[in-house]
């Protein structure tokens, strides 16, 4: 989710932009990997406290490892893959530029592979980390009719990006930036939704007891931990043995080749986004950049923050489908029969007749993508989480600050967009596998597993997060503009440079929720 200081951070980014200067750098080209026909998912153990020598980081090696992990060979693009710029770019111990650029380049490489499979033509790809870093949270750059997006409900929210002292001297992050969540927390604690009242009530609890109690009540919240503490939890240990992108075959079907006549890499691919807010919705947005037809299906009863909807819901049509109603569930089934990808980020989809197995039975060959807050496995799979909780709970906020004074990364959010990009890469990999051997596939990603992946890239030591030199300087993102039914949209454009199929969003670029029928184009 987004942050409560959107306008303040927007002003701060404007100051950074004034200081930025664009200079041409000699790019690093990625060497081709040997062809590997045997697909076996790697399970990289998540690092807990990696502080590498500042001169040893090789972004190409990390990119290659991620691609091998989903069964893809980057050399199948037939062209060069280039990363420009170098972390640290912002004041963070995390390699923020690489953390976004690596998986996002993965989606671009997969799109280029499909393009080559369809046309025989290769593409060169390039990404500049100094621009790409903005896409972790690009709202400060985005405007509608000249106005930046606003977040009225989040401004001053006592249940967003706050940590409170507990009776045993730890800090606890309660999350409740939706109306029903705020009501739930206030009912549970027996207090008003003010920082002072919430602090007084949380001070009566030990941190772990409160974490357990709020989970049993269906509330979202957790203890602030260090990376090492998270790694030693039951969930942390389980996630450390889980790929950052899980891909499992869940059914058989005939291979489905990509049709050769295509204007764009994924033209003709149909994606259902049955998603809420950022992480899941980014999957459809990223597919739409290269020509997929995307429909976002939501319930008319759901609460959406307007600014989050405007950021994530780009490039897709908007249809209301209330899957809790039997007749509308049938509408969803009909939509699924014509889809290639079904993305969701809700727990308990099986209770509504939309489990991966049910969807695969309705449409053999479907790619089912699930995004979760914490985990897909074990007892913690029943717990909910949003980005403002996944960061303090997994140790990221203690890394950026301290355990006693945790601090969020510069943008306030981190895992939402990146986990969505991981989900997109997994879906691309599954589509390529379906084209070669057939099958239905289930792709799984989670915010907390995403947090653990950053450690494999290495963290910077304290005091070593500000560097001189052009390769570390923030650069303005390229911008995309379009007239939409909601007004004139100006926002960051897709940030990988394709030599042939430039990324962009075609009409409809931005639509009202529920303004489209839940049906595919003829």
- The confidence score (pLDDT) of residue 281 equals 95
Task: Report the C-alpha gap between 485 and 478 in whole angstroms.
Answer: 23
Band of the pLDDT at 39, cuts 50, 70, 90? very low
**Of 7-11, 194-198, 314-318, 324-328, which range is least confident?**
7-11
Alpha carbon distance, N-terminus to C-terminus of the chain: 35
**Average confidence (pLDDT) over 115-126:** 98
Position 456 confidence tier, pLDDT thresholds 50, 70, 90:
very high
pLDDT score, position 379: 84
Spatial separation of the C-alpha atoms in residues 289 and 491, rounded to whole Å = 13
Handedness of CA 485, 491, 495, 501 (dihedral sign): positive
Shortest CA distance to 432 belongs to which of 263, 269, 293?
269
Query: Encoding tokens for residue 188?
Result: 């549970």
User: Whole-angstrom Cα distance, residue 384 to residue 346?
Assistant: 9
Is the confidence at residue 76, as pLDDT, over 90?
Answer: yes
CB atoms closer than 10 angstroms to residue 234:
11
- Checking if the pLDDT of 35 tops 80, the result is no
Give residue 369's pLDDT band: very low, low, confident or very high (50, 70, 90). very high
Let me know how long the chain is. Answer: 522
Check residue 18 and give its pLDDT. 41
DSSP state of 506: P
Does domain 6-29+48-152+234-498 fall under CATH 2.70.98.40? My reply is no
Residue 205 confidence (pLDDT): 99
Backbone dihedral region for residue 501 (phi beyond 0: left; psi -120 to 50: alpha; all else: beta): beta
Whose structure tokens read 């739930």? 184
pLDDT band at 498 (very low <50, low <70, confident <90, very high): very high
Cβ–Cβ < 8 Å for 177, 155: no
Q: What is the pLDDT at residue 114?
A: 98
pLDDT band at 26 (very low <50, low <70, confident <90, very high): very low
Sign of CA dihedral 275, 276, 282, 285: positive
**Is the pLDDT score of 512 beyond 80?**
yes
Q: What is the DSSP letter of 268?
A: T
Task: Give the pLDDT mean for 204-211.
Answer: 98
- CA distances (Å), origin 514, targets 30, 58, 170: 44, 45, 44
Among 245, 249, 226, 248, which Cα is nearest to 44's? 245
pLDDT of residue 148: 93
Q: Span 125-138, mean pLDDT? A: 96
Residue 38 confidence class, pLDDT cut points 50, 70, 90: very low
Q: Is the peptide bond before 508 cis (omega within 30 degrees of 0)?
A: yes
- Residue with more model confidence, 503 or 44: 503
Cα(191)–Cα(200) distance, rounded to whole angstroms? Answer: 9
227 vs 232: CA distance, rounded Å:
9
The DSSP call for residue 150 is: -
Q: How far apart are CA 105 and CA 416, in angstroms?
A: 17
Q: How confident is the model at residue 55 (pLDDT cuts 50, 70, 90)?
A: low
Confidence grade of residue 37 (pLDDT, cut at 50, 70, 90): very low
| b/e code 106-140 from CB counts within 10 Å (16+ = b) | bbbbbbbbbbbbbbeebbbbbbbbbbbbbbbbbbb
Per-domain residue ranges of the chain: 6-29+48-152+234-498, 164-223
Provide the mean pLDDT of the chain. 91
Compute the average pLDDT of residues 443-466: 96
- Give the closest residue to 211 by CA, choosing from 181, 158, 174: 174
pLDDT greater than 50 at residue 502: yes
Kindly report, residue by residue over 238-259, the tens digit of the pLDDT. Answer: 999 999 999 999 999 999 999 9
Tokens 């049906």 identify what position?
Answer: 519
Phi, psi of 136 (to 5 degrees): -60, -35
Is there a cis peptide before residue 88, judged by omega within 30 degrees of 0?
yes
Residue 54: predicted pLDDT: 52
CA nearest to 217, candidates 239, 247, 186, 259: 186
Question: Quick one: tokens of 412?
Answer: 């306030």
Higher pLDDT, 78 or 47: 78
- Is residue 416 a contact partner of residue 396, using CB atoms and an 8 Å limit? no
Q: Of all residues in the chain, what percent carry a pLDDT higher than 70?
A: 89
Residue 11: pLDDT band with limits 50, 70, 90: very low
Calculate mean pLDDT across residues 379-398: 95
pLDDT of residue 155: 87
Report the C-alpha gap between 423 and 247 in whole angstroms.
Answer: 10
């Amino acid at each position: 989710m987004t942050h409560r200081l959107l306008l303040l951070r927007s002003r701060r980014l404007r100051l950074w932009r004034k200081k930025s200067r664009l200079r041409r750098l000699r790019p690093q080209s990625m060497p081709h990997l040997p062809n590997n026909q045997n697909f076996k998912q790697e399970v990289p153990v998540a690092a807990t406290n990696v502080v590498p020598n500042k001169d040893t980081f090789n972004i190409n090696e990390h990119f290659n490892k991620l691609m091998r992990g989903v069964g893809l060979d980057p050399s199948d693009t037939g062209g060069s893959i280039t990363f420009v710029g170098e972390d640290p770019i912002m004041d963070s111990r995390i390699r923020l530029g690489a953390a976004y650029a690596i998986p996002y380049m993965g989606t671009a490489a997969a799109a280029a592979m499909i393009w080559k499979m369809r046309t025989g033509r290769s593409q060169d790809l390039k990404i500049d980390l100094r621009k790409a870093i903005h896409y972790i949270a690009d709202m400060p750059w985005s405007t509608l009719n000249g106005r930046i997006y606003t977040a009225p409900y989040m401004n001053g929210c006592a249940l967003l990006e706050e940590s409170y002292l507990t009776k045993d001297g730890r800090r606890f992050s309660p999350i409740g930036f939706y109306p029903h969540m705020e009501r739930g927390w206030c009912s549970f604690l027996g207090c008003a939704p003010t920082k002072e009242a919430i602090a007084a009530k949380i001070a009566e609890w030990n941190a772990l007891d409160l974490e357990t109690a709020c989970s049993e009540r269906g509330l979202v919240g957790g203890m602030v931990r260090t990376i090492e503490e998270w790694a030693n939890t039951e969930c942390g240990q389980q996630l450390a043995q889980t790929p950052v992108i899980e891909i499992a075959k869940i059914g058989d079907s005939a291979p489905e080749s990509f049709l050769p006549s295509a204007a764009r890499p994924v033209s003709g691919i149909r994606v259902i986004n049955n998603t809420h807010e950022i992480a899941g919705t980014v999957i459809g947005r990223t597919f739409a950049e290269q020509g997929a037809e995307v429909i976002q299906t939501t319930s008319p009863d759901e609460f959406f923050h307007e600014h989050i909807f405007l950021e994530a819901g780009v490039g897709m049509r908007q249809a209301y489908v209330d899957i809790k109603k039997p007749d509308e569930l049938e509408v969803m089934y009909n939509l699924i029969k014509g889809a290639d990808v079904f993305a969701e980020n809700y727990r308990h989809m099986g209770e509504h007749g939309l489990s991966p197995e049910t969807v695969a039975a309705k449409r053999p060959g479907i790619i089912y993508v699930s995004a979760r807050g914490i985990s897909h496995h074990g007892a913690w799979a029943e717990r909910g989480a949003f980005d403002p909780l996944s960061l303090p709970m997994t140790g990221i906020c203690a890394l950026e600050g301290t355990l006693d004074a945790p601090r969020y990364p510069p943008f306030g959010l981190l895992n939402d967009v990146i986990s969505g990009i991981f989900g997109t890469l997994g879906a691309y990999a599954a589509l390529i596998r379906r084209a070669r051997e057939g099958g239905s596939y289930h792709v799984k990603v989670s915010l907390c597993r995403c947090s653990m992946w950053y450690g494999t890239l290495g963290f910077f030591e304290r005091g070593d997060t500000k560097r001189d030199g052009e390769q570390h300087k923030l650069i303005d993102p390229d911008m995309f503009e379009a007239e939409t039914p909601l007004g004139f949209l100006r926002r960051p454009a897709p940030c990988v440079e394709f030599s042939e199929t430039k990324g962009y969003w075609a009409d409809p670029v931005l639509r009202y929720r529920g303004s489209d029928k839940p049906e595919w184009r003829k």
